[in-house]
Structures are given as C-alpha cells and as structure tokens.
Chains A and B, each alone.
Chain A
Amino acid sequence: MSEMLEVSDLRVTFGGRGGLVAVDGVSLRVAPEETLAVVGESGSGKTTVARCVVGLQRPDSGTVTFEGRTLGPAGRRPPESQRAIQMVFQDPRSSLNPRMPVSDLIGEAWRTHPVTAPPGDRTEALHRLLADVGLDADVAGRRAGDLSGGQCQRVSIARALAVGPRLLVCDEAVSALDVSVQAQILRLLVDLRRSHRLALLFITHDLGVVHQIADRVAVMRRGAVVEEGPAGEVLGAPRHEYTQALLDAALDIGVEA
C-alpha cells in the first residue's frame, strides 16, 4: 500500500448519544512526503480529525491507519508510531511551558522517546536542530516565555522534529502569527518537508496558504469532506458549491469592492 496515513470513515460525537456530530464519516489519505491541506470554517470538524490522527481524540467509529498499522489513542500507541506522528499547534505560547528553557523543552522530547536521543553530548545536536528551524544557538538557553511568537513556533517545530517524525500534523500553525512572520514559518515548513522528507497534514481556515503549501486539499463542512483533489484543480475549478462559496468569500488583495 502506497499510503502512509489512512483515515477511514471516522465519526466523532461530542456530548454522548444525540450530541453534536463533529466528524461524520471522514476518510482521508496522505502518501509519504505528501502535503494534504484540510480546509474548513469553525465547526467543520477539521481540528477534531487532526486530534484523532495524533491520538488526542478517540473516534466513536472508524480507523486511523499509519504505515499499515491501525492506531488507538495516544497512550496505547506503540512508541514508534507515536513519535512518527508529531503535532504543531496554533498557539505556541500555550503549547510550550513559558518558564522552561528551550534546551529543556527539546530535552523533554528526547526523554519521552529515548531512541531518538542523540548519543553523548547533546549540545551539538540541539544546536543543529535549532539551526534547522532557523534559530541561533543562543536561543537554547532562553525561556519560551521570553521569545517572540515566531521564535516560539520555530521551537515547537524543533521539538516535533527532535524525535524524527515522518508525518507532521499542523493545526492552524501560522494563524496566530503576525503576517510577516507567517510567511517565514510557511517557508520553513516547505523547506523542512523536503530536507526531512516529511508528510504534512495541514489544517487551516485560510484558503490563501493552500496553494503555497499543499499538493492536495480536502474541503470540510459540518463534519464531512465535501470535495477533495489536487490543490490546483480544487481551487482553480471547484466542483462543490461550498468550495465555490469559500473561494468567493476569500479576499484577494488585488480585488476592490
């Protein structure tokens, strides 16, 4: 099988029986080194799908299969699958302990997955990792709370990379950043994807970034995928009226009201 990740007929309901159906039969595939963007508005279920993939949310039914192995919730995954799928969250300020030095944040990832810890002196490996995400070595000694939003997001990406993932799940990873910093992080993800041979599951509400980063795109609405295909086709010639509505609502800079 050529797929790396296969999400099959996923269903998630919040609030028990008769509750809110957040994800209603979603199936997705991601091939090795491929980037799939999942686009939708709030309440579309895109983040819930991402949380199922990393094992933070247990689906009511359906399966998450990674490299041929069906995965349960995070705590019950084999360590190898656990480390192979890493997540980058929207707000690095709330996903990183602000009082912890960057070196400890990365060290923690290595302690969690000892097979990935560099042998011997870790300083050099740490500096190499920071360089990979465009940070100077002196950032290692600084606390996350003293860094800018863009630097924080680079640290969370470094923490994910530290354990050698093959799939990076990015949930609105650039949405909370300043416009000029968003472009940096997008460029970084595109570069890392190539250099580290990563597959990306890129969750976003912003159609604008899809073209820049994704090979394929899945458009979600009310818990279901309404359209899926190569990014150029879906955005260039949408077949579903909801995709068309999203495109019509998305503002381009060159257009005036």
Chain B
Amino acid sequence: MGGRVTAQRSDRSGTADPPHDGPLLRVEGLVVDLPRPDGAGDTLRVVDGVSFDVPAGTTVGLIGESGSGKTMTALSVIGLLPEHATTGGELVWRGASLLRPDTDWRRVRGHQISMIFQDPLAALNPSITIGRQVGEILRRAGRPRAEVRHAVIDLLDRAGVPDPERRMNSYPHEFSGGLRQRAMIALALAGSPSLLLADEPTTALDVTVQARILRLLRSIQREQGLAMLLVTHDLRVVAHVADEVVVMYAGRVAERGPAGAVLRRPAHPYTRALAASVPAVRTKTALPDPLPGSPATPANRPSGCSFHPRCPLARDRCRTEVPQAREVAPGRWSACHFAEEVFTP
C-alpha cells in the first residue's frame, strides 16, 4: 500500500503527529469505575491506578487473569468502555489527553488506534463481504474510490489471506477461524493506525494457527513501525511477541519491565507463580506448587496488597498497606513490599 492514509475528509487538519515528547501512549494512574452489576448504589473500581507507557513501534504485553482489569484498560484507550463507566487519571496520546470530554473518538478510533478482538465473528459484519468491510474504512479515510479495490487486495494480502482477489468476495462465515482473524487484522490496518490494541487475538485459535498469526502480527508491527498493546492471559504469547510487559492483578499493576527479563527473573511473587505454572513442552518438568485460591476480583478485593491471601511471602504489612510500584532495578517496577526477596538482579 502506498503512502499513509489520513482522515483528511473528516478533518482538514489531518492526523499528522502534533509535535510531542515522550511515548506514543502514556497511561498515568488510570482509574475505571463501573456500576456494580448487582445494582447496589456504589461503583466497582475495576482499574485502580494503572501506569505504563507504550513507546512508538514497540509491543507492550498486558498480562492478567480474569478480573485483572486488562481488557478494561485496553478499552479505555480506544474509548469503548461500557456505558456509565467513569474514568480518572490520564491517558496521554501523542502528547494530548484522550480523557477530555471533547475527544473526537471518530477521528482516533480505527485511524490512529485500532483494535482486534478474540472473536472475529463478533466483530465482523456477517452480512457484508470481507472486501467491502475493509473498503469501507478506506473510503471513510478519504481514499479515492478508484484505488480502494487495489488497496483492499493489498491489505488482505499483507494480512496473509491467500488469493485475496477472490477471497475479498467471501463473507465472514465462509472463512476459517484463522482466516477471520487475518481479515480482522486487515480491517484494523486499513486506517493506518499507529497503535494496534489486540485483546486475546490468538486465544481461540489452534496452536499451529496461533503461531502463524503471532508471526504475522510481529512482522507487520516491525515493518510498519506500529505500536501494539497485546492483552492476554498467556505468558507464552507475551514471551514471543512483547518488548515490555505489564502484569496486572485485581485492577492494579503488579509488575512491569522488559518482557524477557520479567518472565525469566520476576520481581513479584505473582509473576513468579504465573511463570512457574507454564509448563515446558519438550522436557519433563515437575508440577509446580500451585497458588492457592482464585484470582481476586474488584468486587472482592482483599485489603492491603490484593495478592496477599495467595502469596507465599505475605506478612502483616501486606495485609494493611497497598504496595506502590517502585523501581527495583533500571526499568524494572514492582508493586511488592518484599520484591527484593523474589528478584535477583
């Protein structure tokens, strides 16, 4: 595809980067409150003071189990939080706040920031051909009509859809799970975003397909200098794709740092337990001592450090005092009072 597609038709100023210092996206003390599902008066804090950066062209893995707030964090970045959600803290996109009430999400969403989901069937329109869905984004981004067909074929081709000239006329149900995910990747790339949010993009796929999609995302990301925020529960996926990793637990960041270093030498007992529970495939490893209990949830968040009821290191301080993230080594942040007992620099 030649040149960058910008949203010039809807906005004369275009989407050219305003000059700014710092990362492409800065998440700073992000807070998300949702109404309680049971209708009780107060709200649930599902994201509680989350901070991390996504520098341009890098992949950040956002790891967590159910109730960790990882998906809500990603949805807030693209303005897709559920109705009645309230936010606090700051989301700085190219130097400007995304949490202002006057943010023009139609200009951001799909053009500057795109998202792909776990279930492409739920995200693709079942009654419109793949080619038309991709073409629609290109037309809305101001691409001249005559170029759209060629650009669609090019996008599908880059997303690894075989025989794109023929397959662009297929409907989503005619595609296999892996092909649908490729079609959604083409759709997400159509607006030439600078940041791709990927929420469990390979979780529903077979292992052999999963590996191919991850390779595809990695190569697209590298070729186009795209930044990616990869939301997943799977440490193995993060180990293969991410530069940086943010480990979330019950709405808070447990630990963050370079992916390889965090997974090999964790600085939080939760990360350590997660990493130990991922079995090696080729060699026989002993079953690890599993963590007791279930992941804490925002509705049922323990006092102090949310992880303390499951933590082998927990002591009195952990039950009363919420640990703040602190830098335990250059680039390594841990929200554990006793990180030094886990972490070997």
- Spell out A's residues near B (CB within 8 Å): 41-42, 148-151, 178-184, 186-187, 190, 205-209, 211-212, 231-232, 235-236, 245-257
- Indicate with 1 or 0, residue by residue over B62-88, a CB within 8 angstroms of chain A CB atoms: 000110000000000000000000000
Report the Cα distance A38→B218, complex, angstroms.
31
Comparing B4-12, B119-127, B233-241, the segment that makes contact with chain A is B233-241
Asked if residues A255 and B240 are in contact (CB atoms below 8 Å), the reply is: yes
The answer to whether A253 and B206 have CB atoms under 8 Å apart is no
- Give chain A residues whose Cβ lies under 8 Å from the Cβ of B241: 257
CA distance A206 to B206 in the complex (A): 10
Interface pair B207/A250, CB less than 8 Å apart: yes
Which of A41, A181, A206 sits near B294, CB closer than 8 Å? A181
Q: Name which residue of chain A comes closest to B294, CB basis.
A: A148
Q: Check if A183 sits within 8 Å of B288, measured CB to CB.
A: yes
Apart from A251-B239, A257-B240, what 17 extra A-B contacts exist at CB < 8 Å? A178-B233, A179-B233, A179-B277, A180-B290, A183-B276, A183-B288, A187-B287, A190-B287, A208-B281, A211-B283, A231-B284, A251-B237, A252-B282, A253-B263, A255-B240, A256-B239, A257-B215
Q: For the complex of A and B, list the 9 residue pairs with the smallest distance between their C-beta atoms, beginning with the closest.
A: A183-B290, A251-B236, A41-B206, A183-B277, A249-B211, A178-B65, A148-B294, A208-B279, A184-B290
B291 at the interface (CB under 8 A from A): yes
Given the known interface contacts A180-B274, A250-B207, A257-B241, the answer about A207 and B295 at a Cβ–Cβ threshold of 8 Å is no
Contact yes or no, B294 A254, CB < 8 A = no
Q: Looking at the complex, which one of A183, A184, A249, A252 makes contact with B208 (CB distance below 8 Å)? A: A249
Question: In the complex, how many angstroms separate the beta carbon of A227 from the nearest chain B beta carbon?
Answer: 15
Cβ of A183 and Cβ of B239 under 8 Å apart?
A: no
CB of B275 within 8 Å of the partner chain: yes
**Is B344 in the interface zone, CB < 8 Å from A?**
no
In B309-329, the 8 Å CB interface with A consists of: 310
| Chain A residues near B210 (CB-CB < 8 A) | 249
The 29 sampled A-B contact pairs (Cβ below 8 Å) are: A148-B294, A178-B295, A179-B65, A179-B233, A179-B277, A180-B65, A180-B273, A181-B65, A181-B295, A182-B277, A184-B291, A186-B287, A187-B290, A205-B206, A206-B207, A207-B281, A209-B279, A211-B280, A235-B281, A235-B282, A248-B211, A249-B208, A251-B214, A251-B237, A252-B239, A253-B235, A253-B263, A257-B214, A257-B241
The tally of CB-CB contacts under 8 A between chains A and B is 119
Nearest-Cβ distance from residue B294 to partner chain A, whole angstroms: 4
A105 to B214 alpha-carbon distance, docked (Å): 42
**B260 near A: Cβ within 8 Å?**
yes
- Closest-by-CB residue of B relative to A189 is B287
Q: Cβ of B264 < 8 Å from any Cβ of A?
A: yes
Q: How far is the CA of A29 from the CA of B38 in the complex (A)?
A: 50
Chain A proximity mask over B253-269: 1 for CB below 8 Å, otherwise 0:
00000001001100000
Q: Which residues of A contact B263 (CB under 8 A)?
A: 253
Given the complex, which residues of A lie within 8 Å of B237, measured CB to CB?
251
Measured between beta carbons, the chain A residues less than 8 angstroms from B280 are 208, 211, 252-254
Residue on A with the closest CB to B67?
A: A178
We find that the number of chain B residues with CB closer than 8 angstroms to chain A is 44
Residues of B within 8 A of A231 (CB): 284
Q: Tell me, in angstroms, the Cα distance from A190 to B287 when the chains sit together.
A: 9
In whole angstroms, how far apart are the Cα atoms of A149 and B273 in the complex?
19
Q: How far is the CA of A156 from the CA of B336 in the complex (A)?
A: 35
Question: Are B207 and A179 touching (Cβ within 8 A)?
Answer: no
**B122 to nearest A CB, angstroms?**
18
Closest to B177 in A: A42
Q: Check A253–B65 contact: CB distance below 8 A.
A: no
Q: Which residue of A lies closest to B65 (CB)?
A: A178
User: Chain B residues with Cβ under 8 A from A187's Cβ?
Assistant: 287, 289-290
Task: Return chain B residues, CB-CB under 8 Å to A182.
Answer: 277
B66, closest chain A residue (CB): A178
Least CB separation from B202: chain A residue: A251
Q: How far is the CA of A208 from the CA of B263 in the complex (A)?
A: 17
Q: Does B285 contact A (CB under 8 A)?
A: yes
* Contact partners of A235 in chain B: CB under 8 A: 281-282
Give chain A nearest CB distance to B284 CB in angstroms: 5
The reply to whether B207 and A254 contact each other, CB–CB distance below 8 Å, is no
Interface residues of B in 8-60 (CB under 8 A from A): none
Output the residue of A179, A212, A255 with the most chain B CB within 10 A: A179
Question: Separation in Å of the B165 CB from the closest CB of chain A?
Answer: 28
Q: Are A245 and B208 in contact (CB under 8 A)?
A: yes
CA distance A183 to B207 in the complex (A): 20
CA distance in complex: A187, B273 (Å): 14
Across the interface, B278 reaches (CB within 8 A) one of A149, A179, A211, A236, namely A179
Considering the chains assembled together, what is the distance between the CA atoms of A256 and B206 in angstroms? 20
A208 to B206 Cα, complex, angstroms: 14
B-side contacts of A253, CB under 8 Å = 235-236, 239, 263, 275, 278, 280
Name the residue among B207, B260, B287 with the largest chain A CB count within 10 angstroms. Answer: B207
Q: How far is the CA of A209 from the CA of B281 in the complex (A)?
A: 8
- Complex CA gap A186/B278 in Å reads 12
